[in-house]
Amino acid sequence: MKNVRTLFSHLKRKRLTVTPTTTETRITYELQSAVDGSPRVKVTSANSSDIQRAIEDAQLAQQVWYNDYSAQERARILSKASSILSCRLDEVAQIEVMDTGRCISEIRTNDIPSAIHMLSYYAHLPGILSHGSVQDVHLSLLSYTHREPLGVTVGIGAWNFPFLNTVSKSAPALIFGNSMLYKPSELTPSSALILADIYREAGLPEGVFQVLLGDGNVAAEMIHTEHVRKISFTGSVETGKKIYKNAAEKMQKVTLELGGKSPLIIMPDCDIDRAVQGAIDANFYANGQVCSNGTRVYVHESIKDDFLATLVHQTEQLKVGDPMDEATMIGPMVSKDHMNKVLEYIRIGKEDDGATLLYGGEKLNSNGNFITPCIFVDCHDHMRIVQEEVFGMLMSVLTFQDDDEVVARANATKFGLAAGIYTNDIAKALRLSKKLEVGNVYINTYNDGPCELPWGGMKQSGIGREGGSLEALYEWTECKSVYVKID
């Protein structure tokens, strides 16, 4: 595995991180291993001059990228990036584990293959990209529309799926002829740097994709200019609101992929084993750090006992330990601060909310920020552990008696990212799916995320759509109307 210290200096030599040009004060911080908390490398944050220079470079580079490269040439570069990533899969997977603490088995088999596919998917889009339409308005007027890039865009990512975040924002931005400045989470910056290296090797002109390191202040400064035409953000509702406010002043486009507290509805006619597996996937995958997780598990009163017995039995089988071990299914939380936040919610569940802790929720005495998966029962809708996003392995189990009741309770939240239904009555599932106020509904499955579909939330879970399909892709373009007088 490439040592992270070597990686950072290697990338700096290639100018893939913005390098110091002035003597202006710069902030450095120590990047720690999420696996065991050991120090890995000192990271230098971008300062105001770096940000200014990056924006100017991105403006010039975008002109070249859109005007001098055809859509097919841009596609060839993304396609090549996909092939290069296939060859570097193990290297990226290992670095991502060190940054996030997530299990190598998940990252090697899901995240990186999805990223490889995503790059290839966007590379195949040029045929439909510039679709405009001719409008037959009047015999003497030829009127048509076409799509153009926005210009300089900014991507800001969260720490749970850092590599996928970087690819899913940059690939559509670039294929449409935009440039992108990307600010990864300060906790998980490494894989964005590798992606910049892969793009460079694939032939992307300098300045079209740049990574700026640092914390939220760096991101806030990056978007504080009208030269940035779009911000694609993944993170918390709180930060999303600040970005939306800033964007309103500058009239910038935004897509905001924010938090959730999603309901998972278990109907009495479901296949219990399958529903339990769904609940485990929807709560404990990625150490519980998934925005769309179905953490409010509504189980029909009549099957509660069977469901809980199977749930505890299956949860006991999850191997907690070293995330570098292929057999491990639960690794450490991303950071000590985050572990403490999750532990505090476990305390609130037990002491303030008065829920019953059925399983887990213990801090393990080992290097790394380990908590065992946690299941609360006797939960009620008003409890804080049921209302607030924990973003850790805390499952709240509630019971219900009829369909209308459970839909009303599922919708009684400020969030609207996802929902799941387990039932053998597909007609009922389709009926209920229309009533759920969410951007994504899973039926007899949970947390699938094919890049071909648009992704996003309703209510406070976000604005706009990212991912595939025209709804999402056109978020990276402007539409221009042209009128030609022909007599």
> Is position 210 an interface residue for ligand NDP (rule: CB under 6 A)?
no
Catalytic residue check, 291: yes
Q: Which one of 60-68, 81-89, 167-175, 229-237 is the stretch in contact with ligand NDP (CB under 6 A)?
A: 229-237
Tell me if 220 contacts ligand NDP by CB under 6 A. Answer: yes
Query: Applying CB under 6 A, does 287 fall inside the site for ligand NDP?
Result: no
Residue 156 lies near ligand NDP (rule: CB under 6 A): yes
Structure tokens at 213: 């390191």
Calculate the alpha carbon distances from 45 to 10, 19, 392 in Å: 17, 10, 28
Partnered with residue 183 across adjacent β-strands are: 156
Residue nearest to ligand NDP (CB): 216
Other CB atoms closer than 10 Å to residue 394's CB: what's the count? Answer: 26
Type and span of the H or E element at 463: strand 462-463
Q: Which of 96, 257, 389, 475 is catalytic?
A: 257
Is 82 one of the binding residues for ligand NDP (CB under 6 A)? no
CB 238 within 8 A of CB 66: no
Identify which of 363, 364, 362, 361 has the alpha carbon closest to the alpha carbon of residue 375: 361
CB 470 within 8 A of CB 426: no
What are 107's strand-pairing partners?
A: none
Instruction: Name the token pair of 359.
Output: 């399983």
Rounded to a whole number of angstroms, the minimum distance from the CB of residue 420 to ligand NDP is 16
Quick check: 158 binds ligand NDP (CB under 6 A)?
yes
CB atoms within 10 A of CB 471: 14
**280 counts as binding ligand NDP under rule CB under 6 A:** no
257 in contact with ligand NDP (CB under 6 A)? yes
The secondary element (H helix, E strand) that includes residue 370 is none
Instruction: State the nearest-atom distance from the C-beta of 140 to ligand NDP, in Å.
Output: 48
Element counts in the chain: helices (H) and strands (E): 18, 20
Determine whether 466 is an active site residue.
yes
By CB under 6 A, tell whether 186 contacts ligand NDP. yes
- Please pick, from the candidates 96, 197, 353, 389, the single residue that binds ligand NDP as defined by CB under 6 A: 389
Q: Is 215 in the site for ligand NDP (CB under 6 A)?
A: yes
Which of 186, 389, 466, 475 is flagged as catalytic?
Answer: 466
Tell me if 415 contacts ligand NDP by CB under 6 A: no
Q: Is the CB of residue 6 less than 8 Å from the CB of residue 91?
A: no
Active-site residues, by number, are 169, 257, 291, 466
Rule CB under 6 A: which residues touch ligand NDP? 156-160, 183, 185-186, 215-216, 219-220, 234-236, 239, 242-243, 257-260, 291, 389, 391, 417, 457, 462
